[in-house]
A and B are shown apart, each in its own frame.
Chain A
């Protein structure tokens, strides 16, 4: 109650002071928002002004030149990124959609709280720790850094994102649709697979795209799983490079030519990610 009284006092202070305080607050809030957005524009400006010139045909068709030599591209990293994303999606999408269906379609099951808790908690575990887990699971047992190991690390990262979006989207499908299916005498598996899932497809695809966009930029879990590879490699049981991994290695390199590749790679990576999330966003809006 005392706060209310003090409040009344404050309101009773002179009208001019209150008005000034109001204007100052609006200016500060506006400035704060501007400060939040400035880095975004600075980063974009930097990547566009420095990276655009470095993107040419070589960038997409050749692997990096030996350190100190001019030329070369990031073909190895682009191919590696797609390879890792495919492996990651196999794991992340299968388990993620399965988990999402479980949470949305069997809400009374007694394991639901446990699965939801574990999935939520999993989403907060730092990517680099999941890299250590994939290292222990696959690199140590196969005695080989590989695309498999990197893909598993990224797949673990994808699971909770896909679980959450799948669950949310399935819950948007009205119960009456399910009941209509069941009243026709369809078994539950037919209702889920032939009625509920098709109705939710665009939403699930959106969730998967967002998850892919999220893990496509991760380099930390790849450091000691996919390891990186300066040559083009199509064998998933061998080390591969990835765009974020090459950016990390080349940005911290002392050779200007490699730094240039890193900036160009960053521009390409950010464009891939933004296009993927934009497509996902547009798909959701249309629904």
Chain B
């Protein structure tokens, strides 16, 4: 009898363990599926919330230019344009600077300098949006006003009737230019960190082959490194675009939130996210609230597409590049 017990016990334990395994598997699977459920629920919430606006305006919502709380007329075009203009202009400024800093860290800086510089660039990504906004409001805005005054209030412009139209009607500093500048500063670290990672993937042979031909450092960077890293950097740029499109508070604090199509570099306008942030709590009626949620739905869809494309590009590079 005693000899049989050892053979029974393991089987017993095996039964308990497979039950434990099933339970464990179930819990983990449930938690993982919760992520999918969250995503579907989010989409459902946004669609349900924007139904009144969708029913009222249909597809025309995207092309309507009026946004008027008093007459309850709502359209998204000014904000779509505002988001696109601020994001692309910010990228135009940010991308060359980000690539420069990535090249500096990987190719120029000695180790003792490369690490702290890389760390400082990453710190830029850790600063909250609202702090960028505060700084933009208190420091950058006055600078933009000075710049505008200096440019446009030159006597030869103001006193010249044929040039006077150039002078912006509004020089309070709350407007497109301030928003673009702060957005550019904010997206630099995203492009920079992807660019740095991709440049590190460039095989050392590639560089040495160029040097062996007698190339200067700049020629190596231009002809051997950047072409190799181009696709990866492009992925980083798209990722930054996703950030820029959804960036909210810093932009809200300095863009002026005027629901009109942008009319000049120094004039106030609004972006999709800034109009949600500034008007949602003060929405006068259900239709306005629903229109704002529909703008949120639009942002959701755009950012899903942009991020999906960015990851596709980056994944292809890292898999193809290392093989």
The answer to whether B126 touches A213 (Cβ under 8 A) is yes
- Pick from B32, B213, B242, B246: contact of A111, CB below 8 A: B32
| Most B Cβ at <10 Å: residue of A99, A193, A214, A263 | A99
B201 contacts the other chain (CB 8 A): no
Interface residues of B in 36-86 (CB under 8 A from A): 36, 38-39, 41-42, 45-46, 48-49
- A187 CB to closest chain B CB (Å) equals 3
- Pick from B101, B253, B303: contact of A248, CB below 8 A: B253
The answer to whether B128 touches A30 (Cβ under 8 A) is no
- B244 CB to closest chain A CB (Å) equals 10
The answer to whether A269 touches B128 (Cβ under 8 A) is yes
B158 contacts the other chain (CB 8 A): no
Number of A interface residues in the complex (CB < 8 A): 93
**In the assembled complex, which residues on chain B have CB atoms less than 8 Å from the CB atom of A217?**
126-131
The answer to whether B28 touches A101 (Cβ under 8 A) is yes
The answer to whether A124 touches B42 (Cβ under 8 A) is no
The answer to whether B127 touches A189 (Cβ under 8 A) is no
Could you tell me the distance between the alpha carbons of A21 and B222 in the complex, rounded to whole angstroms? 12
Evaluate whether A121 and B97 lie within 8 angstroms (CB atoms) in the complex, with A33-B117, A213-B126, A252-B137 already known.
Answer: no
The answer to whether A102 touches B304 (Cβ under 8 A) is no
- Pick from A25, A47, A125, A277: contact of B218, CB below 8 A: A25
- Pick from B34, B108, B188, B245: contact of A29, CB below 8 A: B108
**In the assembled complex, which residues on chain B have CB atoms less than 8 Å from the CB atom of A61?**
none
The answer to whether A121 touches B307 (Cβ under 8 A) is yes
Question: Would you give the 0/1 interface string for B298-319, flagging 1 where the beta carbon is closer than 8 Å to chain A?
Answer: 0110011011101100000000
The answer to whether A132 touches B128 (Cβ under 8 A) is no
Evaluate whether A136 and B45 lie within 8 angstroms (CB atoms) in the complex, with A19-B216, A25-B218, A262-B134 already known.
Answer: yes
With both beta carbons as reference points, the residue of chain A lying nearest to B124 in the complex is identified as A40
The answer to whether A163 touches B35 (Cβ under 8 A) is yes
A270 contacts the other chain (CB 8 A): yes
B172 contacts the other chain (CB 8 A): no
A126 contacts the other chain (CB 8 A): yes
Evaluate whether A36 and B32 lie within 8 angstroms (CB atoms) in the complex, with A43-B132, A120-B307, A248-B130 already known.
Answer: no
The answer to whether B100 touches A32 (Cβ under 8 A) is yes
Could you tell me the distance between the alpha carbons of A35 and B98 in the complex, rounded to whole angstroms? 10
A156 contacts the other chain (CB 8 A): yes
B17 contacts the other chain (CB 8 A): yes
Which residues of B approach A to under 8 Å, CB–CB? 10, 13, 17-18, 20-21, 23-25, 27-36, 38-39, 41-42, 45-46, 48-49, 96-101, 103-105, 108, 117, 120-121, 123-124, 126-135, 137-139, 185, 188, 192, 213-219, 221-223, 239, 242, 245-249, 253, 273, 276-277, 280-281, 292-293, 296, 299-300, 303-304, 306-308, 310-311
Q: Which 8 A-B pairs have the closest CB atoms?
A: A98-B31, A217-B128, A126-B246, A32-B100, A124-B307, A187-B17, A189-B24, A102-B32
Which residues of A approach B to under 8 Å, CB–CB? 7, 10-11, 18-19, 21-22, 25-26, 28-33, 35-37, 39-40, 42-43, 46-47, 94-95, 97-99, 101-103, 105-106, 109, 111, 114-115, 117-130, 132-133, 135-137, 156, 159-160, 163, 185-190, 192-193, 213-214, 216-220, 223-224, 227, 244, 247-248, 251-252, 259, 262-263, 266, 269-270, 273-274, 277
